[in-house]
Amino acid sequence: MKKIITTTLLVGLFSSSFAMDTKFYAGISAAKVDNYSYTQYSIGQNSSTKFDNDIIFAFANSLSYGRVKAGVSATTADLDLKLGYEFIEDLRVYGIGTGAVQFYDNSTYTGLGYGGALEYRISSLLSLEGSYKTMNMSKSNHSYDYDTASLGVRFGF
């Protein structure tokens, strides 16, 4: 847990050192853990910078929670590295590399994965983003796939 907090703080400091567009968001995801589908709720932040050639570098971190089945919940902290392109004004597409720590069924799992996202910027302070990510989560002798399809509203400052 200390590593997650330290990483989050370092990412925040890194983003404030460069001219990056930072947005906070709240969203809802359809998630699947260990073959159980459920709904999870997320909060997080996204920082990005767009270069002159319309290529975008971004990173995001989030915290998600959902009840997987009766008596079992999943809490996930993840960090996404995103590389994107603005192919139409205010419409961006991203490839995502992601890592996560998940507290599920009284155990802690870690995993890496990939995904994609599509973002529409309504204004400089407001955008909508839909994404899909898949990760392979593991702990010693047990592993499972963790998949999410999400829709979020991002608020900038």
pLDDT of residue 7: 56
State mean pLDDT over 18-37: 86
pLDDT in tens, 55-74: 999 999 999 999 999 889 99
**143 token code pair:** 């592993």
Q: How confident is the model at residue 156 (pLDDT cuts 50, 70, 90)?
A: confident
Instruction: Please report the domains of the chain, with CATH numbers, ordered by start residue.
Output: 2-156 (2.40.160.20)
Is the pLDDT at 15 greater than 70? The verdict is no
- Residue 5: phi and psi, rounded to 5, are -65, -45
**11 token code pair:** 């990412």
Is the pLDDT at 140 greater than 80? The verdict is yes
Cα–Cα distances in Å, from 151 out to 14, 59, 84, 103, 155? 26, 17, 18, 22, 14
Is the pLDDT at 27 greater than 50? The verdict is yes
